[in-house]
Structure 1
Amino acid sequence: MAQKEKIPVYSIGNLLQEPIPQAALQAEYFSAYLEKHYADLHRPHRHSFYHMVLFTSGEGTHTIDFDRFEVKPFQVYCMVPGQVHSWHFTAAVTGYVANFPDHFFRDFLFNPYYLERFPFFSGSSAESVFQLPAPLHEKVPALFEELIALAPDATASPDMNRVLLLQILLLMGNAIAGHPAKAIPEQKKMILHNLRRLIDVHYRSIRLPKEYADLLYITPNHLNALCRDLLGQTAGELIRNRVLLEAKRLLINENKTVAEIAYELNFQDNSYFNRFFKKYEGVTPDEFRKQFLK
């Protein structure tokens, strides 16, 4: 069977339209970025890189994994590779954009999971968007200006880019951590990070919380208690929501049939997938697709 067209997945090389070095960072004014790529950005698409946008003015909406947000000044959007999103602007927008690959800090910090310490890079759309606190309205744009000014200098060390970007992430992370709902022990946060990572890898084939608890070397009761405490939902709901999210991502691809999507998500048959989807979304997969396209 011929390969069906999928949701577009853009790399930094696609956007720059040229070969890129391993340590590539793309930093631009958002207005210039939008002018070059609007034909692609207003349709649902994915990135193979981390994508961060700070708006300083403008109006419109941004949809991340089917959650819609109103664009506001000094609002930050942070997305991880694989999330599906699209932009719809109703007025001219200004701001900054930074794109960087998942290995950007790996050798620099000797920690492949460093970015997971930041809640805005959790992969959850609800945590991806936040308002930049007033004390950072000058500091963060100034760092973006330095990033953009450094970009044309081919002789500059990639570590300069890393240091500037890391300052931005730490400033934002500290601002969010400064107003926590409650302090979360590092051990609990690590278990949650590991659970989310495992679900992302195995959600097609592993659907039972007990199996994830075994992979994490904890009891199912401990896992459920932790998920309820930190997320307000059970481990089973977290797994189910990941399956539903991928189903919706696949359904917006018109060239895939519902039966093909059911098979790809490892459902026993198409009717079981239809019942599952309608139970939790309130509509059938076909109805969801028609509503989205409309």
Structure 2
Amino acid sequence: MYTLVSSQTGHMAFRVSRFDEVTSLQEQKGYNYYNILLVTKGSGQLFEYTFQENALLALGLYQPFQVKGAVEGILINFHPDFFCIYKHEEEVACNGVLFNNIYAPPLMQLTASEMSALLNIVKQIEAELSRPALAQYEVVMAFLKIFLINASRMKVERQEGLVPVGNEPFILQSLKDAIERDYRKEHSPGYYAGLLNITPKALNKLSKTHFNRTLGGLIAERIMTEAKRELYMTVKPVKRIAFELGFSDEFYFSRFFKNNAEVSPVVYRETLVYRSVE
């Protein structure tokens, strides 16, 4: 295990470690950092998704997960204060691709050459962390950027290769466009079903078939993605964020947030940003 800590707090900023079938990845709680798993051997299951060796799994902040199966590989953790995917959206573009993509599985199968390319970057990170050196923080961050850019490119290429067939993809694209346009004011699955002239039951079935999520789940995840962004990127009061996201009651928003993130909006905000040690 190689760990880079914040010089101000001593908290973990970046970590890379290796795991094997003896290591338990089955009860990982949600923490205030991003998780990337590179599965080099074995097969398993993440949520409702199955994967084989040469898989990349990407999980966001405070996202609890279970990996079932005998697997080996590498686990990368990084705190958003070390590398904020929102601040680096334009240069890295992993937000909405590797992370916070409510319409795509949080994993992808890699080719052997793709896995080798990512592992080579990890080896360079490990070599850098194995010895104290000038500007180590910046060098590791640069390698992480390269890793995320390459992984994002791989996933984008897969998404661009998908070919819509029939009417269902058209309906689903219309659903995605509608949620993106109206999620700040419309939270009801029935609203989107009516907008698309389809019954809520039928639209929910399509959503579960293609996105592995209920229609209500898709709407909730989109609201949560924006709520987390606002809490991290701004100093707006929680009450204002709640109002801007279509909640008339701050306490209802807090309950909604906690049900989806396991922590309250206030705790989420407080634990994301490193504070100077007194």
Shift of 1:98: 0.8
Q: Partner residue of 1:132?
A: 110
Cα deviations across residues 179-220 of structure 1 (Å, max 9, x unaligned)? 4037xxxxx9xx97x949x96xx7xx97259x9xxxxxxxx9
Q: Partner residue of 1:85?
A: 65
Whole-Å separation in 1 of the counterparts to 2:220 and 2:96: 24
Give the alignment of 1:101-180 within 5 angstroms. 101-106=79-84, 111=88, 115-124=93-102, 126-157=104-135, 158-179=137-158, 180=160
Percent same amino acid at aligned positions? Answer: 14
Whole-Å separation in 1 of the counterparts to 2:109 and 2:82: 25
Cα deviations across residues 9-40 of structure 1 (Å, max 9, x unaligned)? xxx98xxxx9326xx210122239x74xx3xx
Shift of 1:147: 1.4
Q: Using structure 2 for the length normalisation, give the TM-score.
A: 0.53
Structure 1 42/110 Cα, relative in aligned 2: closer, same or farther at 3 Å?
Answer: closer
CA contact (8 A) 1:83 1:123 kept: no
Indicate yes or no: 2:32 matched with 1:27.
no
Cα deviations across residues 160-194 of structure 1 (Å, max 9, x unaligned)? 11121111211122222234037xxxxx9xx97x9
Structure 1 82/242 Cα, relative in aligned 2: closer, same or farther at 3 Å?
Answer: farther
Q: Using structure 1 for the length normalisation, give the TM-score.
A: 0.50
Whole-Å separation in 2 of the counterparts to 1:29 and 1:71: 18
Structure 1 94/136 Cα, relative in aligned 2: closer, same or farther at 3 Å?
Answer: same
CA contact (8 A) 1:27 1:151 kept: no
Cα deviations across residues 244-291 of structure 1 (Å, max 9, x unaligned)? 999xxxxxxxxxxxxxx9x9349xxxxxxxxxxxxxxxxxxxxxxxxx
* Number of positions where the alignment pairs a residue of Structure 1 with one of Structure 2: 192
Whole-Å separation in 2 of the counterparts to 1:70 and 1:240: 20
Q: Partner residue of 2:44?
A: 60
CA contact (8 A) 2:37 2:58 kept: yes
Q: Which amino acid aligns with 2:151?
A: M
Whole-Å separation in 1 of the counterparts to 2:221 and 2:142: 38
Whole-Å separation in 1 of the counterparts to 2:109 and 2:97: 14
| 2:98 alignment partner, SS class | helix
Q: Partner residue of 1:99?
A: 77
Shift of 1:58: 1.9
CA contact (8 A) 1:150 1:156 kept: no
Q: Partner residue of 1:73?
A: 53
Whole-Å separation in 2 of the counterparts to 1:110 and 1:44: 27
Shift of 1:60: 3.0
Shift of 1:146: 1.5
Unaligned runs of 5+ in 1: 1-11, 183-187, 212-219, 223-231, 247-260, 267-294
Whole-Å separation in 2 of the counterparts to 1:97 and 1:155: 23
Whole-Å separation in 1 of the counterparts to 2:147 and 2:187: 37
Question: Which is richer in helix?
Answer: 1
CA contact (8 A) 2:56 2:108 kept: yes
CA contact (8 A) 2:18 2:75 kept: yes
Structure 1 245/175 Cα, relative in aligned 2: closer, same or farther at 3 Å?
Answer: closer
For CA contacts below 8 A with separation 6 or more, give which structure has more relative contact order.
2
CA contact (8 A) 1:105 1:162 kept: yes
Unaligned runs of 5+ in 2: 164-172, 197-205, 208-213, 224-251, 258-278
Whole-Å separation in 2 of the counterparts to 1:142 and 1:116: 19
CA contact (8 A) 2:34 2:80 kept: yes
